[in-house]
Each structure stands twice: as C-alpha cells, then as structure tokens.
Structure 1
C-alpha cells in the first residue's frame, strides 16, 4: 500500500553501499521504518530528506514490516541542529525519547506536534534543557506516569516547602517527608515550573529565563523521576551528562 505522510527522521542508518534505513515519526502512522535506496549517493534526490531531525513529506510503499521510500519533499531541514554540538545533543535526546517511548505505528498527532515544536524551539535558540523537560513531561503523561504535582501525594495537603518524591510519584509535604528519605528539596519556582510543564503546549513556549539553581533542581527532579518510572537508559542523555561533567 502506498502512503503519503508528514514525518520527522528519528534515526538514519547506512545500509549496504548506497542505501539508508530511516525511522520516521509520523503524524498519521506513528513510528515507521523505510528503506531509502540510493540515498547515500551524492546526487540522490533522497539524500536531504533522510538526514537526522529532518521534517518532510514522505511517500513510501509498505506491505510488510519495512517500507520502501519512493519520494520525499523537504519541509524543514533543521541544519543548525546537526551543525552545533549542544543543539545536536539535545535534539538527539528529543528524538530518542520519542523513539524509545513509542511503539511501532502507535500514532499520536499531539506527540508529533510536540516533537516538531521542540526541535523548532531548539532551532530558535530557546532554552534546550527546558525544552527537553517539557517533552519528557508530555511523554510521561502519554505513558500514564504523570507525577502528582498539585498537592501532597500522600496526604493531600499543601505546605510552604514541598519536596519531590520520585518513588511516591509526585510532591510530598514536609510532614510526610519521612516517607521518602530520598525526596528532593525544591524551591517554589521549581514546583511552579513542574506544574507548568504538565499544562504547557510546546507550541506555545515563548522566551523563558530560568535561574541556574532552579534548572539544577528541575534536572534532578525530572531525571530521578524518569529513571524511577521509565527505566530506559537513553544513550543521548548519557552523552549530555558527559558534556555537563566535562563542561564540553
């Protein structure tokens, strides 16, 4: 069957002497893999549309597990995301989040738009860490792991100083802090942003200026929560951590 879809390239792998296998995340069909024959050749009409992060319109034939790419039209190349080390690293994390946390052909027009908006935000020089946390929160919600952030997950109360408990599944009040000795102390600004992340559509993200101390708390909360409830070792996140460690 012939399909025409809009898609974003999540993975691009060389295959044989002149071919590529690409994994697309599409609005209409979710995640699909297609063979792009001759895409590695210098003059190939498929070369530009098979690069990582590319947003395009793709026409492919699919009868089994893998399709064959017939044609592609470039809608946005996202060249800057491949040319800048930090942008490339964060963009790789965004696409790996979608790739690892979605099933084959499990379509979600909403998540497609969130990924596209996230790549556009990084392309437009918006805060990359904030963009990544926003997409993490969207995927947690989609998978049914969204944290409870409005009131204490244990007793339902709200106190001046709330803590974040990945193990208990959300925020806890100071009176319940004994239930999780590993709970993370956080500022009111961090708590406010975490709640905002659940509501904010990435397509509406404007200019945002977050203090480094708040960003550090956000990172600690989100990474601990992802590790506890998702349990996937993301290669791109490991690379980001190495960059942070050695201040690359």
Structure 2
C-alpha cells in the first residue's frame, strides 16, 4: 500500500553499502521505519530527504514488516539547525527524547505538533535551550508522569507560597512544606515558568529570553524527574552536559536582553 504522509526525520542508520534505514515521525500515522534504498549515494534522489530534522512529504510503501521510502519532497530542511552547533545539539536531544518516548505506529498529532513547533522555533533562531525545556516538561505526560502544577499536591490549595516536591512530583504550598523535607523552594516567577513550560504551546509564547541560571534551575528539576521516574539515558544529553561545562566550544553570538518575566 502506498501512502503519502508529512513527517520529520528522527534518525537514520546505514544499511549495507548504499542504503539507509530511516525513522520518520509522521503527522498522520505516528512513527514509522522504512528502508531508503540507495540513499547513501550522493546522487540519490533520496539522499537529501533522509537528513535528520528535515520536515517533508514522504511517499512510503507499507505492508508487513518494514516499509520502503519511495520518494519525498522537503517542506523545510531546517538549514539553520544543521549549520549551528548549539541548535544542532539541542535539536538532537529533543529528537532523541521524543523518539525514545514514542512507539512505532502510535499516532499522536500532539507529539508531532510539539516536535514540529520546537524545531521550527529553533530554526527561526529562538533560544534552543529554552525550547528544549518546553519539550522536556510536555513529554513528561507521554512518559506517564503527570506533575501536579495547578494546586498543592497535598491539600489542594491554590494560593500561598509554593515549593517543588520530587516526592509528590508537584507543588506543595507552605502549609504542607513539612510533608517533604527535601522539597525545593521556588519563587513566584519560577512557579509561573514551570506552568508555562508544561502547559503553554510553544507557538503562543513569543520571544522568551531567560537568564542562564534560571534555565539551569528549571533543567535540574525536570531532569531529576526523568532520572528518578523514567530512567532515560540519552546519548545527546551527554554532549549537552559537555557544552554546559565548556561553553567556549560555541562561537560568540549577539545575545538579546535576558529576562525571567
């Protein structure tokens, strides 16, 4: 059966001397894996459309077992992502995270839209570190983790001072601080940011320029949840950690004014 679907290339793997196995997250049919015959040849018509991050329209022959990629047309090659080390690094992490948390053939328009919006934002020059935080917080639900962020996880209060509890995987109000001796105190602006990352679509945020310490704080919380509750170990995350330790690896860029509001 032949199908034409829009999708984003998540990963590729060489197969033999000239072929690639390509994993594509499609809008209509979820994640699919297909053989792209001859795609490793520079002159192949499949070479340019089997690049990671590419958003395109793909003609796939499907049936029992692995499908076959017959042809495709690029919609957005995500050129900036591939040419910028920082953009590439965070996009690789986003793609790997979504790949690990999705099953083949499991359709989810929401996940496709999240990936598309994230890559589009990074390709347009938005802060890739901030965009990755949006993806991390939103993918917790896909991993089966549902943080309680709209109220106190213990008593249900919606007003007062709040802290984050890894024990409850959510907020605790000041009346319930005693229930978790290891909670993390947060400011009202940090609380608002966590809710924004978890609930607001990337397309509705506009330009969000956060201070580096703020992003590091938000990252520490969400990644501890993944470590303790999901147990993911991603190769791309190791390189991001290296970038954090050695920022001189990145070329100097003109930075916009930072704000946590």
TM-score norm. by structure 2 comes to 0.89
The secondary structure found in structure 2 opposite 1:96 is helix
Q: List gaps (5 residues or longer) in structure 1.
A: none
Q: Does the residue aligned with 2:100 lie in a helix, a strand or coil?
A: helix
For residues 155 and 205 of structure 2, what CA distance do their matches in structure 1 show?
33
Does 2:229 align with 1:232? Answer: no
Between the two proteins, the alignment pairs up a number of residues equal to: 248
Deviations 1:45-66 (A, max 9, x none): 1111100101111111122231
Deviation at 1:187, TM superposition (A): 1.7
C-alpha displacement at 1:212, in angstroms?
Answer: 2.8
Secondary structure of the residue aligned to 1:137 is helix
Please, what TM-score do these two structures have when normalized by structure 1? Answer: 0.94
In structure 1, distance between residues paired with 2:133 and 2:246:
22
Out of 203-212 and 233-242, give the one that drifted further: 203-212
Which residue in 1 is equivalent to 2:162? 162
Alignment of 1:61-140 (within 5 A): 61-140=61-140
Cα offset for 1:197? 2.0
User: How far apart, CA to CA, are the structure 2 residues paired with 1:60 and 1:214?
Assistant: 43
Deviates more, 1:1-10 or 1:175-184: 175-184
Distance in 1 between the 2:141 and 2:186 partners? 22
Matched, 1:181 2:185: no
State which drifts further: 123-132 or 15-24: 123-132
Which residue does 2:2 correspond to in 1? Answer: 2
Query: Which stretches in structure 2 are left out of the alignment for 5+ residues?
Result: 250-261
**Helix, strand or coil for the counterpart of 2:14?**
strand
Could you give the per-residue CA deviations for residues 14-52 of structure 1, whole angstroms, max 9, x where no partner exists?
Answer: 111111111000111111101101111111111111001
Q: Runs of 4 or more off by more than 4 Å in structure 1? A: none
Any conservation in 2 of the 1:187–1:214 contact (CA below 8 Å)? no
Q: Which residue of 2 aligns with 1:45?
A: 45
SS at match of 1:208: coil
